Structure 1
Amino acid sequence: MNKVLIIGAGGVGSVVAHKCAMLPEVFGEITLASRTVSKCEAIAASIKERTGREIATFQVDADNSSETAELIRKVGATLLINVALPYQDLTLMDACLEAGIDYLDTANYEPKDVAKFEYSWQWEYQERFEKAGLSALLGSGFDPGVTNVFTAWALKHHFDEIHTLDIIDVNGGDHGHAFATNFNPEINIREVTAECRHWENGEFVETAPMSKHQGFTCPEGVGSYEIYRMYHEELESLTKHIPTIKRAQFWMSFSPNYLKHLEVLQNVGMTRIDEVEYQGQKIIPLQFLKAVLPNPGDLGVTTKGRTCIGNVITGIKDGKEKAIYIYNICDHEKCFEEVGSQAISYTTGVPAMIGAKQMLSGEWKKPGVWNMEQHDPDAFMADLNVHGLPWTCIELTPEQAATFTVA
């Protein structure tokens, strides 16, 4: 019987736990652990009500690898699903090595004191996992995650060479708050305010944050939005593992209201990640801001609308130019009805469950540390259609691809 340990009881952790519980033939015993055990217990109660299944809950400090390894041994897990904070990736990988189990996460490591996220720290674990006969799967969310698999699937079935890749993430939802982030505010704001990097002719080119933007009209009536170019971690692994890519960019939609609030918060110093002294205590402004903003895990109650995330890809097939757009559209209200979460958590949590399913089946289990595009994409793509994230692939002309005319 497969036994999994899920660490993290936020919005994504809740989706992962619910979706795993819906597949008892794959996930035999499920344990959910977090620093705050009451959050785990609330999720467990929801799972019991929705599926009839009971899951175990524990308190754990994910910053403590020995404590985590002890919990792993206690519950007998063979796979750890990390949906905690990116700061904790390395300690959780250490715990897996100490306890001798496989590892999966949805976002790459980011040090607390530097707004810099990249795979280099985790790629350094390759030899240790390989020697231990253990497998680590990095970035099994949507972006990164599904967007990587979309690219690998496109290369396998539609292209001999991929030349350009544009990943476009649009959230057409409305949560009804003056200002809120759709996932962890601390991580979200650090990403958005970081310098932009995109891949161009064999190197990363750095530009000011969100200094390039344009309009984009989503298919299937999701709507038209302004999308901004920013750096995202899948660009690092995809350009490494698919060397024919000449240009790769990541785009995300932001409303004028979001940008207005973010600008003010930056101007007054609330997005700082260095310590300041306040009434004799040292606090980090961004962490304080996180504490007063709406909890992303609670946004599902009010959020309406749809997300649209996909890849515009161009390249060569049989000596001829080719372009496609592959995408998923996800409805916030339908996600809430199914698992009690909004679509941002859902689109990250479902791929984490599917990635775990691929590992437990042996399809994606090989010693070492791997990114999503390094595995065969077909079974994962099939599971997306079955488990709540159906995708569509359409042919584009090169002109449509160049102008992002996909609707």
Structure 2
Amino acid sequence: MKKGKVIIIGAGGVGGVVAHKCAQLSDIFEEIVLASRTESKCKAIASQIKRAVRTASVDAENVPELIRFLEKEKPFMVINVALPYQDLTIMDACLATGTHYLDTANYEPRETAKFEYKWQWDYKARFKKAGLMALLGSGFDPGVTNVYTAYAAKHEFDEIHELDIIDVNGGDHGQPFATNFNPEINIREVTAPCRHWEEGSFKETPPMSVSRSYDCPESVGTYNIYRMYHEELESLTKNFPTLKKAQFWMSFSKNYLNHLEVLQNVGMTGIEPILYKGKEIVPLQFLKAVLPEPSSLGPLTQGKTCIGNIIKGVHKGKEKKIYIYNICDHQECYKEVQSQAISYTTGVPAMIGAKMMMTGEWMRPGVFNIEQMNPDPFMNDLNRYGLPWTKINL
């Protein structure tokens, strides 16, 4: 393994941000290879970057092909920003070739909308035995929101009792209907039953059935936020056992929800194959093909995101409540890395997590969720590399 060499798998909006941000740290990421099934997408990203970034074609679902690719390149680690369906095949290839691993989203089987870590947690013993590290969920949510929680547990509370993760996108891309990241994953998340943690177990409610108005700080605006299930709740409730209640909230416009309701009613969000003119097609995959590519929204999107954690608990015998958040401007992101803020807020933490592993700041054999690491150097790097955070007492 070459210590300064990294392979980025995935050439969507997030992959572009990761490549840009890794290229800014030439003393750490000495050699960068950007790979995807469609190499032309990689080349388009590489052409935007002043520093040399090599490109390659690889099928992330083909383990033998991945193994041959990694054996040839011999990177220190893989940053996986491909589709969640491909997490396990990439982990298999990393194990076979002695390569460290990082991703931003947990594995999800194609045939069912099931956001769980159990498949990846099953790799713990194998990665530990191989002396390799796999860091899971180094995006924003999951990712930064997990680190916010770990930071609060370390510095602000003796016990954390309640957690509300609130993800607001105050951006406007002007399109009738589009998703800000992979449409297939986005719509599967939104249409899945909601689960939140309360008094020792997950409680299930119908999708998008609980909502409230939320006033963001720093004049970002007031938005309707909806409670939904998000994967970081699974690991956070496991790693912070004092949590009595944990919820995830995301903002959606009335326009988005109206379009989504129609698409659901006519069957376009289905994930079961249907027969059309003698061929099987998955409706949601067809919908993805006709919707705007998320990476194309960068130059169009105006406004800001506001993502953070409201955390309640006890410190020195007294109840306490804090809010840790980041505000990110879509147009500022586009000026820096040719991408809107949704991809930026995921791609920057992926680079920082990889930096933590590259420098040895975080390097332990096994499979870890990001909140299991020391949060302090990561929090410092958020301020250094484009995602400054604010903490206020409530």
Partner of 1:223: 221
Equivalent positions of 1:20-31 (< 5 A) are 20-31=22-33
Equivalent positions of 1:124-273 (< 5 A) are 124-273=122-271
Q: CA deviation at 1:87?
A: 0.1
Q: CA deviation at 1:74?
A: 1.3
Write out per-residue CA displacement over residues 93-122 of structure 1, whole angstroms, 9 at most, x where no aligned residue.
000000101000000000000011110000
Partner of 1:83: 81
Give the whole-Å Cα distance in 1 for the aligned partners of 2:355 and 2:80: 14
Give the whole-Å Cα distance in 2 for the aligned partners of 1:96 and 1:248: 33
Partner of 2:38: 36
Q: Which amino acid aligns with 2:311?
A: I
State yes or no: 1:392 paired with 2:390.
yes
Q: CA deviation at 1:280?
A: 1.2
Give the whole-Å Cα distance in 1 for the aligned partners of 2:191 and 2:56: 35
Q: CA deviation at 1:226?
A: 0.3
Structure 1, 294-303 or 69-78: larger mean CA deviation: 69-78
Residue of 54, 57, 61 corresponding to 2:55? 57
**Structure 1 counterpart SS, 2:55:** strand
**Structure 2 counterpart SS, 1:227:** strand
Give the whole-Å Cα distance in 2 for the aligned partners of 1:160 and 1:134: 32
Give the whole-Å Cα distance in 2 for the aligned partners of 1:202 and 1:325: 24
Partner of 2:14: 12
Give the whole-Å Cα distance in 2 for the aligned partners of 1:74 and 1:117: 33
Name the TM-score, length of structure 1 as normaliser: 0.96
Partner of 1:355: 353
Partner of 1:292: 290
Write out per-residue CA displacement over residues 280-300 of structure 1, whole angstroms, 9 at most, x where no aligned residue.
111000000000000001100
Write out per-residue CA displacement over residues 140-175 of structure 1, whole angstroms, 9 at most, x where no aligned residue.
000000000000000111000000000000000000
Write out per-residue CA displacement over residues 312-358 of structure 1, whole angstroms, 9 at most, x where no aligned residue.
00000000000000000000000000000000000000000000000
**Structure 1 counterpart SS, 2:67:** helix
**Structure 1 counterpart SS, 2:308:** strand
Give the whole-Å Cα distance in 1 for the aligned partners of 2:57 and 2:368: 29
Partner of 2:375: 377
Give the whole-Å Cα distance in 2 for the aligned partners of 1:221 and 1:377: 28
**Structure 2 counterpart SS, 1:25:** coil
Give the whole-Å Cα distance in 2 for the aligned partners of 1:331 and 1:222: 10
Q: Which amino acid aligns with 1:129?
A: F
Q: Which runs of 5 or more residues in structure 2 are unaligned?
A: none
Give the whole-Å Cα distance in 1 for the aligned partners of 2:335 and 2:67: 35
Matched residues, percent identical?
70
**Structure 2 counterpart SS, 1:181:** coil
Give the whole-Å Cα distance in 1 for the aligned partners of 2:357 and 2:271: 36
Give the whole-Å Cα distance in 1 for the aligned partners of 2:159 and 2:64: 45
Give the whole-Å Cα distance in 2 for the aligned partners of 1:71 and 1:388: 32
Residue of 105, 108, 121 corresponding to 2:103? 105
Partner of 1:93: 91
Give the whole-Å Cα distance in 1 for the aligned partners of 2:46 and 2:145: 30
Structure 1, 62-71 or 109-118: larger mean CA deviation: 62-71
Give the whole-Å Cα distance in 1 for the aligned partners of 2:250 and 2:226: 5
The structure 1 segments of at least 4 consecutive aligned residues displaced by more than 2 Å after TM superposition are none
Q: CA deviation at 1:247?
A: 0.2
Give the whole-Å Cα distance in 1 for the aligned partners of 2:233 and 2:334: 30
Partner of 1:404: none
Q: Which runs of 5 or more residues in structure 1 are unaligned?
A: 397-407
Q: CA deviation at 1:75?
A: 1.5
Q: CA deviation at 1:69?
A: 1.7
Q: Which amino acid aligns with 1:67?
A: E
Give the whole-Å Cα distance in 2 for the aligned partners of 1:3 and 1:72: 11
Q: Give the CA RMSD over aligned residues.
A: 0.5
Q: Which amino acid aligns with 1:268?
A: V
Give the whole-Å Cα distance in 1 for the aligned partners of 2:362 and 2:134: 10
Name the TM-score, length of structure 2 as normaliser: 0.99
Equivalent positions of 1:329-368 (< 5 A) are 329-368=327-366
Give the whole-Å Cα distance in 2 for the aligned partners of 1:364 and 1:196: 33
**Structure 1 counterpart SS, 2:48:** helix
Q: CA deviation at 1:76?
A: 1.9
**Structure 1 counterpart SS, 2:139:** coil
Write out per-residue CA displacement over residues 258-298 of structure 1, whole angstroms, 9 at most, x where no aligned residue.
00000000000000000111111110000000000000011
Partner of 1:46: 48
Give the whole-Å Cα distance in 1 for the aligned partners of 2:149 and 2:64: 37
**Structure 2 counterpart SS, 1:2:** strand
Give the whole-Å Cα distance in 2 for the aligned partners of 1:146 and 1:69: 30
Q: CA deviation at 1:66?
A: 1.7
Residue of 253, 273, 276 corresponding to 2:274? 276
Give the whole-Å Cα distance in 2 for the aligned partners of 1:16 and 1:72: 19
Q: Which amino acid aligns with 2:23?
A: A
Partner of 1:301: 299
Give the whole-Å Cα distance in 1 for the aligned partners of 2:366 and 2:321: 33
**Structure 1 counterpart SS, 2:358:** helix
**Structure 2 counterpart SS, 1:176:** coil
Q: CA deviation at 1:393?
A: 0.2
